[in-house]
Amino acid sequence: MMTAPLRATDPTTVNVALGSRAYEIVIGRGLLASLGTRIAALKPGASAAIVSDETVATHHLAGAQAALAAAGIPVASIVVPPGEGTKSWSRLEAVCDRLLDARIERNDVVIALGGGVIGDLAGFAAAILRRGLDVVQVPTSLLAQVDSSVGGKTGINSRHGKNLVGAFHQPILVVADTALLDTLAQRDFRAGYAELAKFGLLGDAGFFAWLESNWQDAFAGGPAREHAIAIACRGKAAIVARDERETGERALLNLGHTFGHAFEAAAGFSHRLLHGEAVSLGIVCAFEFSTRLGLLSTNEAGRVAHHLAAVGLPTHIRDVPALQTNADALMELIAQDKKVKRGKLTFILTRGIGQAFVAPDVDPVQVRAFLAEKLR
Ligand SMILES: NC(=O)c1ccc[n+]([C@@H]2O[C@H](COP(=O)([O-])OP(=O)(O)OC[C@H]3O[C@@H](n4cnc5c(N)ncnc54)[C@H](O)[C@@H]3O)[C@@H](O)[C@H]2O)c1
Ligand SMILES: [Zn+2]
Is 217 in contact with 193 (CB distance < 8 Å)? no
184 lines ligand 1 (CB under 6 A): yes
Residue 116: which residues within 8 A CB-CB, separation 6 or more? 139, 141, 143, 144, 147, 148, 149, 275
77 has pLDDT over 80: yes
Cα gap 336→258, rounded to integer Å: 10
**Could you list the active site residues?**
131, 153, 195, 236, 246, 250, 254, 257, 261, 275
Cα gap 122→74, rounded to integer Å: 18
Of 5 and 117, the one with more pLDDT: 117
82 lines ligand 1 (CB under 6 A): yes
161 lines ligand 1 (CB under 6 A): no
Cα of 66 from ligand 2 centre, angstroms: 32
214 lines ligand 1 (CB under 6 A): no
Task: Please report, rounded to a whole number, the percentage of residues in the chain having pLDDT higher than 70.
Answer: 96
Scanning the chain, the segments in alpha helix (DSSP H) are 35-42, 54-70, 89-101, 116-128, 142-143, 186-203, 205-220, 223-242, 257-266, 275-292, 298-310, 327-336, 364-375
**pLDDT for 338:** 58
Measured by CA distance, the residue closest to atom 12 of ligand 1 is 116
**pLDDT for 6:** 44
71 has pLDDT over 80: yes
259: nearest Cα among 288, 283, 277: 283
Cα gap 173→157, rounded to integer Å: 25
**pLDDT for 162:** 83
97 has pLDDT over 70: yes
194 lines ligand 1 (CB under 6 A): no
What is the pLDDT confidence band of residue 341, given thresholds at 50, 70 and 90?
low
What is the pLDDT confidence band of residue 339, given thresholds at 50, 70 and 90?
low
Ligand nearest to the CA of 84: 1
Cα gap 159→319, rounded to integer Å: 26
Task: Please report, rounded to a whole number, the percentage of residues in the chain having pLDDT higher than 90.
Answer: 87
Average pLDDT over residues 79-104: 97
**pLDDT for 298:** 81
63 lines ligand 1 (CB under 6 A): no
Cα of 99 from ligand 1 centre, angstroms: 21
4 has pLDDT over 90: no
258 lines ligand 1 (CB under 6 A): no
**pLDDT for 374:** 92
3 has pLDDT over 50: no
Of 342 and 193, the one with more pLDDT: 193
**Which DSSP category does 7 fall into?**
P
111 has pLDDT over 60: yes
Ligand 1 pocket test target in 92, 147, 148, 157 with most atoms within 8 Å of CB: 148
Ligand nearest to the CA of 151: 1
Query: Which is it for strands 161-168 and 153-158: parallel, antiparallel or unpaired?
Result: antiparallel
Fill in the amino acid letter for 325.
T
Cα of 143 from ligand 1 centre, angstroms: 6
Query: Which atom of ligand 1 is closest in space to residue 191's alpha carbon?
Result: 15
pLDDT (tens digit per residue) in 116-168: 999 999 999 999 999 999 999 999 999 999 999 999 999 999 887 788 899 99
Cα gap 137→177, rounded to integer Å: 11
58 lines ligand 1 (CB under 6 A): no
Query: Which atom of ligand 1 is closest in space to residue 86's alpha carbon?
Result: 20
Cα of 336 from ligand 1 centre, angstroms: 23
Average pLDDT over residues 50-70: 98
55 lines ligand 1 (CB under 6 A): yes
324 has pLDDT over 90: no
Measured by CA distance, the residue closest to atom 34 of ligand 1 is 184
pLDDT (tens digit per residue) in 280-307: 999 999 999 999 999 998 899 999 999 9
**pLDDT for 194:** 98
Ligand 1 pocket test target in 50, 60, 143, 261 with most atoms within 8 Å of CB: 143
**pLDDT for 340:** 64
Average pLDDT over residues 230-256: 96
Measured by CA distance, the residue closest to atom 11 of ligand 1 is 116
